[in-house]
Amino acid sequence: MSDIRKVATIIGDNGFVENYIVERLVKAGYVVRVAVPQPALVNNIRPFGNVGQITPLYCSVEQENTIIRAVEGATVVINCAEASFGQNKTKLDRKNVKAAQIIAQLCATAGVETLIHRSALGADMNSSSPYLVSKKQGEEVVLKAFPAATILRPSVVFGPEDQFLNKLSLMAGYFPVFPVYKVNTRLQPVYVGDVADAVMQVIKNQDCRGKVYDLAGPQTFTNRELVNYLLRYLHRNNDASGLSPILIRLMAFGLQFMPGSLMTPELLNMMEYDSVLDGKQNGLTELGIVPISIETMAPVFLYCYRSSEDLTELKALQQYIK
């Protein structure tokens, strides 16, 4: 058995996508450093690996010394840190561009073999979204500092711990008239496990270095179509005709401070701009991954949002219980 340790560092924001990447890295035999602003929150995923295999580190992408400690000695670095939709231009530039550049430069200096930078589907200098402009700028500075870096551009990511489908499903139990935001915006949500698998494929395949991959699910929805699908699955009869975007924004601003944060501006920000392939080849397919659809995976974790009286499917399974 080789005594050489494979070390991978994930730089992130304590997001749920990072946890899926950690799980796969551990299975592949890596010692994983999870460099995040709140390392105490990493304790819940430490059982994924053996004792000492997952190491939480404090890291702020605006503090260079914490980045140096995180990437030193690592062969693989995955940068998932970002300022998200809705942030002001100063913060977007500071985190999505300048911090991304510094991380890439430090990785090059430290001799990192594989750098993966998480961008966003639709990143474009000509976009009307300051967020998507900043993500494109981030890609450019990363590739300039580390030409062999691989750029992954996922669409809106869904999964059991997301703040997307879970929030929408929770809202269905509270709003008879569902506040569908920007009804004609198109989304092609990608499953979190597929994004994590894409990371692992890039790590395994040196031919992926220096390339950009757009990651999206197999289905395209408008916001209204997505909400209608959720309502059908949840057996709800909410009116999904839509409300004024201004009214919905005001509702989200107020509800974000209520217990449970039923609706938040961050949720609406994810539904603001198109996030689809638009004729581009799906990077998941290029990487040999068959994308998982919402209709396949979402019912696994959304059943709990059905009415407590709607137990028809569970009752049907009782015949198998001995």
pLDDT digit string, tens, across residues 129-176: 888 999 999 999 999 999 999 999 999 999 999 989 999 999 888 888
Q: Could you give the CA distance from residue 175 to residue 274 in angstroms, rounded to a whole number?
A: 25
Homologous superfamily of 7-154: NAD(P)-binding Rossmann-like Domain (3.40.50.720)
Top mean pLDDT of 163-167, 279-283, 284-288 is at 284-288
Beta carbons of 298 and 233 less than 8 angstroms apart: yes
Instruction: State what percent of residues in the chain have pLDDT above 90.
Output: 62
176-200 CB burial, b ≥16 within 10 A, e <16: eebbbbbbebbbbbbbbbbbbbbbb
Beta carbons of 67 and 112 less than 8 angstroms apart: no
Neighbours of 65 (CB within 10 A): 9
Please give the CATH architecture assigned to the domain spanning 156-190+217-275+292-311: Alpha-Beta Complex (3.90)
Q: What is the domain partition of the chain in residue ranges? A: 7-154, 156-190+217-275+292-311
* Beta-carbon contacts of residue 202 (< 8 Å; ≥ 6 apart): 114, 116, 150, 152, 208, 213, 287
pTM of the model: 0.91
